[in-house]
Amino acid sequence: MAWIRVGVIGLVFVLIPACTPQAEVKLETEDQKTIYALGLGLARNLAVFEFSEEELEFVVEGIRDGALKRPPKVDAKQYRAKIQTLQRSRLQAQAEGEKSASQAFLDKEAGMEGAERSTSGLVYRELEAGSGESPTKNNTVRVHYHGTLRDGTVFDSSVDRGTPFVTKLTRVIPCWTEGLQKMRVGGKARLVCPSQIAYRDRGSPPHIKPGATIAFDVELIEIVK
């Protein structure tokens, strides 16, 4: 089995022979299912490019030639810079589209009763008042949170895991660093985070798109001394 390093995102992909999209693949054995699962993993690493079906044919051809040790049709080293340029351009296009699509969601959240929008773009809304202290950015906090995309899809949740999250506020996204300092222990709040104070134009694959606005319902349980 052949290996190739893809310089664009610093990952090492295992290359395997692949079928064309037109071929119907039947998964009958555990080995076949395992190899198919490997393909799904590779696809997640390539998701940033948002290849069309036609473009994917070229990817498959490169995988096939590399895995079967056939003579390459191009010198991969000479195309590293172009791969990086392609990645940047597609990320930028995705980010701009997502920012535009997120604007209505941001405006709706900012218009909710009790919501306030800061100069950073954070939309903060208190859901339940706390009675304890407020943390500073240098504090460590224990929280429960529920993170969702603008369409309501849950991408992460300490509530679902059943285990509170402990973190220093200098080690999280700027949206959290700012938003948690507005809360008091025992309180709950909703933080709506535009991309510039969340995961910016890089996103956080596979769930958070480049340029995505995300939201967190947070309960501040404790300031950890």
Catalytic residue numbers, as ranges: 145, 155-156, 173, 199, 216
Q: How far apart are CA 95 and CA 1, in angstroms?
A: 36
Identify residue 185 by its one-letter amino acid code. V
φ, ψ (nearest 5 deg) of residue 16: -135, 155
3-state helix, strand, coil in the chain (%, to 5): 40, 25, 35
What residues form DSSP beta bridges with 121?
none
Residues paired with residue 148 on neighbouring β-strands, in sequence order: 154, 215
Rounded to whole angstroms, the Cα distance separating 84 from 219 reads 40
CA dist 65 and 73 (Å) reads: 8
Q: From residue 206, how far is each of 10, 42, 102 by CA, in Å?
A: 16, 12, 18
Contact yes or no for 217/190 (Cβ under 8 A)? yes
Cα separation, 219 vs 189, in Å, equals: 7
For 124, 129, 188, 207, 218, the CA distances from 110, given in Å and listed in that order, are 8, 19, 17, 24, 17
